[in-house]
Amino acid sequence: MRWLALVGGVLVQIVLGGVYAWSLFGRALQSPESMGLSHVLASVPFEAAIGMIFVGASIGGRLQDRSSPRVVALIGTALYGAGIMLASFARTADDYWLLVLGYGLIGGFGLGVAYIVPVALLQKWFPARAAVVTGLAVGGFGFGATITSPVAQHLIDQAPQDPAGAFRVLGLVYLIAGLLGSALMFSPPATGAKARREDDFTVAAALRTPQWYLLTGTLTVAVIAGIALISMMAGAAVDVAGLNAGAAAGAVGVLALFNGGGRILWAAVAQRVGQLPVLTVILVIEGAALLVLPHTRGMWFLALAALVYLCYGGAFGTMPSAAGRFFGLSHAGAIYGLMLVGWSLGGVVGPLLASSLVGETGNYTLAFSVIGALAVAGVLLPLVTRPPKKPVAP
């Protein structure tokens, strides 16, 4: 049963990871022959989706700890697919609100509800390999954009005046595959009140520790650094690296492999050396790569971008097991679900900050330099973090 749960969890994460192909749509929506949106407006639906992840994950985490993970995942994937399909009806600038509502608010909320289920559930199925198995699960999220990107670009090319129309096909596929994966996720027999360890943290107890805030802050900085690049990758690949539009679309898909691979790679390393050293290295590499990135072209640009994607994914592969190690698994869904506020904060701040700094003049050097410096400064967070003392059992 646990292997079926793993397959279902990875499938759900692949479906949800299609959200990272947004830069293709953002660039297409800026074209005068479609909606003619500005850089900032083109990033808002994606920011809204990432911003809603925390809301969905905090609710989904509590529900899956108390009830059926399968039911929670089914609800989340159904909302995600329905929201994407609703966004497909945005044909002109007057319909822009449908992108924000469908792709952003509804799709992002459903994404958060479904995302947290395999992250928490699989740690309970594989407690001795929690870091690796959560890395595998969320690795699927990173690979989702690799699968989605070429399909999305093909659909956009068929009707460049209506790029949002591609969401109709994608949303339907997401809905079917997501429901199938959700149906495979079962709770292990040992879960329940009797299996809960008395020295595990409750949600309230975890929120009273400085460690919860330090880990959440670390995730926030790692997300800002990575998602700022992800949100504008299609444009930066053309404007900075000098690629054509077709090659840029291919780069988005290929780089998503590093996002997914980083979740598995860094999770495996963390299983051996610990989560905090890995998180420290991740922020150092992200920051250094971003500082150098705007001064490169061609393959050097893509190589540094791959490092950023690798480390961005690594933060998501490492953080769930760090939370489980610090606070226990009894309330893993709710505790880590609340920690995903870092994903939402970073997902809003990163693209908004990057698009504002780039502006209409295309000042990528300023944008990447500021965000890279922020990542380097964020190294202090994991360096000062230590595991909390276990609560005293009554």
Q: What is the pLDDT of residues 258-274, one digit of tens each?
A: 988 888 899 889 988 98
Nearest partner of 185 among 124, 127, 228, judged by Cα: 124
Q: What's the mean pLDDT in 273-302? A: 93
CA-CA-CA-CA torsion for 165, 166, 172, 175, nearest 10 degrees? -110
Q: What is the pLDDT of residue 288?
A: 96
* Spatial CA neighbour of 328 closest among 219, 199, 242: 199
**Which tens digit of pLDDT belongs to each residue from 26-54?**
888 888 888 888 877 888 898 889 889 88
pLDDT for 224 equals 94
Residue among 196, 231, 327, 306 at smallest CA distance from 262: 306
The ranges assigned to domains in the chain are 2-188+197-383
Q: Among candidates 36, 60, 17, 76, which has minimal Cα distance to 261?
A: 17
Q: How confident is the model at residue 60 (pLDDT cuts 50, 70, 90)?
A: confident
Q: Is 158 exposed, middle or buried (0-12, 13-18, 19+ CB in 10 A)?
A: exposed
Across residues 355-370, what is the average pLDDT? Answer: 84
> What's the pLDDT tens digit per position in 162-204?
888 899 999 999 999 999 999 988 877 754 444 456 668 888 9
Q: Name the burial class of residue 190, with classes exposed (0-12), middle (13-18) and buried (19+) by CB atoms within 10 angstroms of its CB.
A: exposed
Cα 145 versus chain centre, distance:
11
Listed residue (383, 389, 390, 331) closest to 215, CA to CA:
383
Res. 96: pLDDT tops 70: yes
The CATH topology of domain 2-188+197-383 is Growth Hormone; Chain: A; (1.20.1250)
* Cβ atoms of residues 350 and 224 within 8 Å: yes
pLDDT at 190: 58
